[in-house]
Amino acid sequence: MALQPSLQKGLVIAGKYDAPHTLEVFLDYVCPFSAKISLAIDSVLRPLFAPGGKYDGKVKVIFRNQVQPWHGSSTFVHEAGIAVARIAPEDFWKFSLALFKRQGEYFDIPTSTLTPVQIRENLAKLVAETIGADKAAQFGDLLTLKSTPNGGVAVTDDLKYTIKYSRQNGIHVSPTVLWDGLIANEVSSSWGEKEWTEFLTKKVTV
């Protein structure tokens, strides 16, 4: 498991950072199946890995940004998630859930007539609604284009890191789940409490 320091606090969305087992979940904010599995992560997995949960201290969950470039807005929504991870890591998962619930607003057709600036402005409004208006200004600063013609924004390097990580591990579809570094093909976005409980019973060895 690897995670660059600037993203460690935000992208570890459940469990303790030093937990021996690692569940990595590659999700795209505009993928319906990613949205579906996010509900199970929130309702089933996070309680199990939280303080006092059955697997407290044994498993951590890492959110892996999986940009799917055939969706025009995918880059922008993942920039937004990374920006929140930077300015308010404790609220990253809260914002991610809100974005998954509103993902239809960022699908291809709804965003087809919007400029990148307008999409980022809409995301800033979601930040204000979700984690507080006081965070929106910081968020906007991170997503403001640099003065150089092709320099990107303040979180572009973090976005590159997440994309390179996916590429070097051969991740193509979302969601994809890794258990201790290996792809767990059996995991499905349709899994509920029963399937996840059976999976963890087999996999957790500490």
Q: Which residues of 179-199 are buried (b: 16+ CB within 10 A; e: fewer)?
A: beeeeeeebebebeeeebeeb
Q: Can you say how many angstroms the Cα of residue 174 is from the centroid of all Cα atoms in its chain?
A: 11
**Distance separating alpha carbons of residues 75 and 55, to the nearest angstrom:** 34
Mean pLDDT, the chain, whole residue set: 96
> What's the burial of 148, exposed, middle or buried (CB within 10 Å: 0-12/13-18/19+)?
exposed
| Whole-angstrom Cα Rg for the chain | 17
Q: In the structure encoding, which two tokens stand for residue 85, read together?
A: 């991870």
| Confidence (pLDDT) at 25 | 98
pLDDT given for residue 3 in this prediction:
82
Side chain identity, residue 58: K
What CATH code is carried by the domain that includes residue 148?
3.40.30.10
The predicted structure's pLDDT at residue 200: 98
Q: What are phi and psi of 139, to 5 degrees?
A: -60, -50
What pLDDT was estimated at residue 4?
80
How high is the pLDDT of residue 105? 98
Q: Judging by DSSP bridges, how do beta strands 12-14 and 21-27 pair with one another? A: unpaired
φ, ψ (nearest 5 deg) of residue 125: -65, -40
**What number of CA atoms fall less than 13 Å from residue 26's CA on the CB side?**
25
Domain count, the chain: 1
**Structural domain containing residue 126:** 5-203
| Stated pTM of the model | 0.95
Question: What was the pLDDT predicted at 6?
Answer: 81
Contact by Cβ (8 Å): 192, 40: yes
Instruction: Give the model's pLDDT for residue 1.
Output: 63
pLDDT of residue 7: 86
In contact, 181 and 36? CB cutoff 8 Å: no
pLDDT digits (tens, 9 = 90+) for 125-176: 999 999 999 999 999 999 999 989 999 999 999 999 999 999 999 999 999 9
pLDDT digits (tens, 9 = 90+) for 83-133: 999 999 999 999 999 999 999 999 999 999 999 999 999 999 999 999 999
52 pLDDT above the threshold of 90: yes
